[in-house]
Amino acid sequence: MELKGLYTALVTPFRGGAVDYGKLRELVEMQIEGGVDGIIPVGTTGESPTLNMEEHRKVIAEVVKAAAGRCVIMAGSGANSTAEAIHLTRAAKEDGADCSLQVTPYYNKPTQEGLYRHFSTIADSCDLPIVLYNVPGRTGTAIGIDTIARLSRNAKVLGVKEAAGSVERVSEILSACDITVMSGDDSLTVPMMAVGARGVISVASNIIPKELSEMVAACLAGDFRKALTYHRRFYRLFKDLFIESNPIPVKAAMAMLNMLEEEYRLPLCPISDGNREILRKTLFTALGK
């Protein structure tokens, strides 16, 4: 399969402490109507750390069922234990996911050789294509360029989500190997695609899938003048959706638009009053409301 375009890192809606599966299906439908190329259930934005194993699997299965083959489903099935990541990825395969997003192991901080063995073992054990997820700000460890180059030789490794905040890393990766790079930062999508990334795994598209689909399509077509009009319009929103830890602001923004109940699981909690007002102003300005 080809990895490109707009993929939404989908939020997980809660109601009364439980996953709201009805609302989840509504959000999937909205994403597909907005023209996304793929949906990622149970990533960081989906609050994967606080879903139990049963919920984790059911969320993926429900998203697969709701999408009904109309877009790619990239299941968030990474872990800081290789055995657990394999277990989750095999379950995602059984439930119909097309590929999986594998976050860099967090907290235990493996060496580069450990990272290579971790991702290789998952890729070779699960019969499901994987996308590497480099996000050192959350995991404490970056996937080295040489490690990405080694992993790119595995046919089961589709690409890498780059969320280290560096456009230069895209050029470094593409100079070192032939692998698909996806931006992991909405605010860097256009500059990253200008140097060779093929799309974005987005948080903002939970709110504006149509507009971001058009922005990414313009980049893929080489029309960066058009893409920049979207980038400039939504840049402040891209930034303020990270004014506190993701997914707190995006859920707050979605609640402001009556898209879901603003509910989190501890240790995440509601956005502060001051940041809520900043986000509200940015959101409604960007949407022209």
Read off the pLDDT of residues 3-48 as tens digits, 9 standing for 90 and up. Answer: 999 999 999 999 999 999 999 999 999 999 999 999 999 999 999 9
Residue 247's closest CA among 85, 49, 98?
49
Kindly name the residue from 133, 156, 230, 251 that is annotated as catalytic.
Answer: 133
Could you say which DSSP state residue 222 is in? T
Our answer to whether residue 133 is catalytic in this structure is: yes
pLDDT of residue 86: 98
Examine residue 72 and state whether it is found in any structural domain, yes or no: yes
Confirm whether 122 is domain-assigned.
yes
pLDDT tens, position by position, 180-206? 999 999 999 999 999 999 999 999 999
For residue 289, is pLDDT > 90?
no
- Give the chain's domain count: 1
Mean pLDDT of 87-100: 98
Cβ atoms < 10 Å from Cβ of 36: 26
Catalytic residue, from 58, 156, 161, 251: name it. Answer: 161
Bridge partners of 14? 19
pLDDT digit string (tens) for 228-277?
A: 999 999 999 999 999 999 999 999 999 999 999 999 999 999 999 999 99
Taking only Cα atoms into account, the Rg of the chain, rounded to an integer number of angstroms, comes to: 18
Residue 116 has pLDDT above 90, yes or no: yes
Decide if 254 is inside a domain: no
Omega of the bond prior to 249 within 30 degrees of 0, cis?
A: no
What are the helix (H) ranges across the chain? Answer: 21-33, 53-67, 82-94, 112-126, 136-139, 145-151, 167-176, 189-194, 209-220, 224-240, 248-256, 273-286
* 127 found inside a domain: yes
Distance, in Å, from the CA atom of 81 to the CA atom of 87, rounded to the nearest integer, reads: 10
- Residue 30 structural domain: 5-221
* 3-class state of residue 279 by DSSP: helix
pLDDT higher than 90, residue 282? yes
| Within-domain flag for 286 | no
Instruction: Identify which of 206, 193, 213, 190 has the alpha carbon closest to the alpha carbon of residue 249.
Output: 206
- 207 within domain boundaries: yes
Has residue 289 been placed in a domain? no
Output the average pLDDT for the chain: 97
Q: Is there a domain that residue 211 lies in?
A: yes
Average pLDDT over residues 74-89: 97
Q: What pLDDT shows up at residue 1?
A: 84
Question: CATH code at 216?
Answer: 3.20.20.70
Provide mean pLDDT across the span 60-64. 98
| CA distances to 79, 89, 148 from 83, in Å | 8, 10, 21
pLDDT at 266 (0 to 100): 97
Tell me if residue 107 is catalytic.
no
Q: Model's pTM, two decimal places?
A: 0.97
